[in-house]
Structure 1
Amino acid sequence: MRYILLLLCLFSLSCSNEKVLQLPEIQNAKITEVLDVSPAYIFYDETQPDSTEFNRKNLISTTNWLVNVDKRLTLKQVLPHLQYLQNKRRKASMHKNENAKNYFTCNDTSIKNLGFLEFTDVDYKLKDVDFDLYISTKKDSIHYQINVVSKSEIVLKLISTEVLTIVTTIESFEEKLKSELKKYPISTNAIFSKNLTFQDYITLKSKLAKLKSLSLTIDDNEFFY
């Protein structure tokens, strides 16, 4: 069953038209199996106005949702569809299965099979709308802001002082944050440039997920600019 699902995610067939969806890659996923599922797809399609095709017709509200996003898309292209899915899930949970969750489907290269990242509780927000009010509530705590400008520029800033700024890359980001966690437990939130590819977004999300056991609290509010 998992092998069939992998083929479905990588090479989804729609009627007579073959559509290829390139899953984002991760390594050593904590979640490698999800049961009772229904899928949604966000394809890369240059024939569409925004180069995306959003297929959600197979979603069932009472199941876990596997959201398959082409890694070549940018966050600007993907974000409206993710906001739609989150809103739909929250409305469904009010009346149906409160335990159903949302997952991104990924290609776990370490096991050559599927891996999953949960995003059920993530709230996708625009930075210019809600960010200032949100940050004002964090100034009295040890809270780091992670600003992902690009794959080669990630800025870590301690909100309480606004002095300590560590600029790193997506490749060395994990070790930089680990060194800060050795000093004290911290909380953090992430803000992302909408020009990032979905692959880069998933790479950072998977690294953060691995650090949650090291006294790191990750806020479910994600901001985009």
Structure 2
Amino acid sequence: MKHFYLLLTVIILSSCGNEKILLLPEVNGAPVTEVSDVSHAYLFYDETQTDSVELNRKNLIGTTNWLINVDKRLTLAQAIPKIKFLQDKKRNAKMHKNENAKNYYTCNDTSIQNLGFMEFTDVVYNSVETDDDILKIQIKKEPILLLKMNEDSKITASDIFGGQLTNRGDYSLDDLSNNRFKNLTSGYYSKIILMINTKLSFQDYIKFKCSVDTNKISSLVIDSNEFIY
């Protein structure tokens, strides 16, 4: 089992005689554990590249579910532009299109020692400079919970209501699994918005998103608009 587990953590591809290693992000309890009818794309961490990221998408088939394998060492600044490129490729396809096909991130689910998946089909990545930029986009009468993951991995919780931002305190990733966070999300908000610093790693992003999804109250949804700053 130990050797099998290692293979799940590390993807090794051989291309033109060169081996490329991809380290999958790890989570404890992925939202999805099985996906069928798939094709793959890979985002490698490559120190020899100017931007340290290399995209391999030659095996993608437009009518299948896409599994996007992203190296956990990449920052969001490196990974998100490539991911948006793939999203646009699928959304704008005019031929060989399957409206039911979805996009997933592949991860290593340590709770089952197997592959897990996180769907992001409808996620829209928005670039912003400050919290106030979100107020211009999210104008709703219902209160919204903004969870902002900062460069130091601390999470700032804020209310968005009446065109104003009100700080509700700071959290760690570990705090997201305790009663303090559950109490924060209970019975008040209409939805959750995520905001993530571009310098954070893809590992940080996946763990953050999975933790919020797992530990929020079930009636709350995570907005499909995510904000990268």
Q: Do Structure 1 and Structure 2 share a fold, with TM-score over 0.5?
A: yes
Provide the residue aligned with 1:165 in structure 2: 168
Provide the residue aligned with 1:207 in structure 2: 211
Deviation at 1:216, TM superposition (A): 1.0
Q: 1:8 to 1:36 in 2, by over 3 A?
A: farther
Deviation at 1:92, TM superposition (A): 2.5
Alpha-carbon distance in structure 1 between the residues aligned to 2:216 and 2:64: 26
Q: Which moved more, 1:95-104 or 1:177-186?
A: 177-186
Provide the residue aligned with 2:136 in structure 1: 133
Provide the alpha-carbon RMSD of the alignment. 2.2
Deviation at 1:212, TM superposition (A): 5.8
Q: Does 1:186 align with 2:186?
A: no
Provide the residue aligned with 1:10 in structure 2: 11
**Uncovered stretches (5+) of structure 1, i.e. residues with no partner:** none
Q: Does 1:217 align with 2:218?
A: no
Deviation at 1:147, TM superposition (A): 0.9
Alpha-carbon distance in structure 1 between the residues aligned to 2:69 and 2:12: 11
Q: Deviations over 1:149-177 (max 9, x none)?
A: 13541101011153342111122134343
Deviation at 1:7, TM superposition (A): 5.8
Q: 1:144 to 1:128 in 2, by over 3 A?
A: same
Other structure's SS at 1:10 match? strand
Q: 1:152 to 1:193 in 2, by over 3 A?
A: closer
Which of 178, 202, 206 does residue 198 from structure 1 map onto? 202
**Uncovered stretches (5+) of structure 2, i.e. residues with no partner:** none
Other structure's SS at 1:124 match? strand
Other structure's SS at 1:99 match? coil
Given that 2:38 and 2:67 are in contact with CA atoms closer than 8 Å, whether structure 1 keeps it comes out as yes
Q: Which moved more, 1:33-42 or 1:164-173?
A: 164-173
Q: Which moved more, 1:73-82 or 1:149-158?
A: 149-158
**TM-score, normalisation: structure 1:** 0.89
Deviation at 1:61, TM superposition (A): 0.4
Provide the residue aligned with 1:46 in structure 2: 47
Alpha-carbon distance in structure 2 between the residues aligned to 1:94 and 1:184: 44
Given that 1:28 and 1:110 are in contact with CA atoms closer than 8 Å, whether structure 2 keeps it comes out as yes
Provide the residue aligned with 1:77 in structure 2: 78
Given that 2:37 and 2:64 are in contact with CA atoms closer than 8 Å, whether structure 1 keeps it comes out as yes
Corresponding pairs, count: 219
Provide the residue aligned with 2:106 in structure 1: 105
Given that 1:26 and 1:106 are in contact with CA atoms closer than 8 Å, whether structure 2 keeps it comes out as yes
Provide the residue aligned with 1:91 in structure 2: 92
Which amino acid in structure 2 is aligned with residue 202 of structure 1? I
